[in-house]
Amino acid sequence: MSTDDTDTSSGSDGYETEPATSPWHAGVPVGERLSAEELTGSPFFGFEVSDGRLVSAPVEPMLVPERPRHGELDPAECGHCRPTDWGRWLWKDEHWHVAAPPSTGLPFWAGLAPNDHLLLHELDGQTLAALGPMIQRLSGAIQGLDGVARTHMGRWGDGSAHFHLHFYARPLGMMQGRGAMLAFWDDLLPPTDPALLRRHEAQVAAALAADGGEALV
């Protein structure tokens, strides 16, 4: 990672900063306003404009039984059990695999899931024991990418009946992406250059394979 020393600025506390640069940063439209349609058009978007103010949407009735998740009624429909167009497998070992979507606005985004169609409470002892080391290994591999500051993790469990964790690369210097906001920015930012994304995926897969398992890209 290098920096551009032509735009150094200093905050009121005297902490000096300068723009982060990397191949990923070079493709970001800094200073531009981005369309929020990807967010506002989602059925899960919880806000609306009322009398010129942004307010929460009304709290909806909480109905049961809930609709089945993907793979809940038929594991053959599960998108985590095998490579798919949405989830391209980057790496695997005897217990776990890492799969990535075809595109993202971030330097990297992937999911970690057990090879078997299981929920968290169903994992056997060996698979569960490997989870902690896998989280550490994948987080470290992602933070080894140029232009990445942190690895963010998320687990919701509402879309699929197959346990999985999301791993997001928080770009270096992107303070707007701290905390829970990074997943929102992934929807807003333009897609990362496919060639760059493939290089990042290969780098992460190779880093994981260096400690075991098989790189698939």
Q: How many other CB atoms are there within 10 angstroms of residue 139's CB atom? A: 17
CA distance 67 to 201: 34
CA distance 168 to 108: 6
- The label of the residue with tokens 């989280």 reads 135
For position 199, which CATH number holds? 3.30.428.10
CA distance 201 to 138: 11
Q: Number of structural domains, the chain?
A: 1
Q: Is residue 64 part of a domain?
A: no
Q: Is residue 205 part of a domain?
A: yes
Q: Is residue 50 part of a domain?
A: no
Whether the bond into 65 is cis, omega within 30 of 0:
yes
CA distance 24 to 167: 17
Q: What is the largest CA-CA distance in the chain?
A: 59
Domain holding 134, by residue range, is 85-215
Q: Is residue 18 part of a domain?
A: no
Buried b (16+ CB within 10 A) or exposed e, 58-95: eeeeeeeeeeeeebeeeeeebbbbeeeeebbbbbbbeb
Chunked in runs of 10, what are the mean pLDDT values of the chain (217 residues)? 44 87 98 93 90 95 97 95 93 98 98 98 98 99 98 96 98 97 96 98 99 98
Pick the closest to residue 184 from 32, 40, 31, 19 (CA basis): 40
User: Which residues lie across from 166 on neighbouring strands?
Assistant: 111, 154
**Given this model, what pLDDT does residue 3 score?**
40
Q: Which two tokens stand for residue 127?
A: 């698979």
Q: Is residue 165 part of a domain?
A: yes
- The label of the residue with tokens 């089945």 reads 68
At 128, the amino acid letter reads: L
CA distance 114 to 95: 6
Going by the DSSP 8-state scheme, the letter that residue 124 receives in this structure is: -
Going by the DSSP 8-state scheme, the letter that residue 49 receives in this structure is: E
Do 93 and 213 contact (CB within 8 A), yes or no? yes
Q: Is residue 132 part of a domain?
A: yes
**Given this model, what pLDDT does residue 39 score?**
87
Q: Is residue 160 part of a domain?
A: yes
Q: Is residue 34 part of a domain?
A: no
Going by the DSSP 8-state scheme, the letter that residue 169 receives in this structure is: E
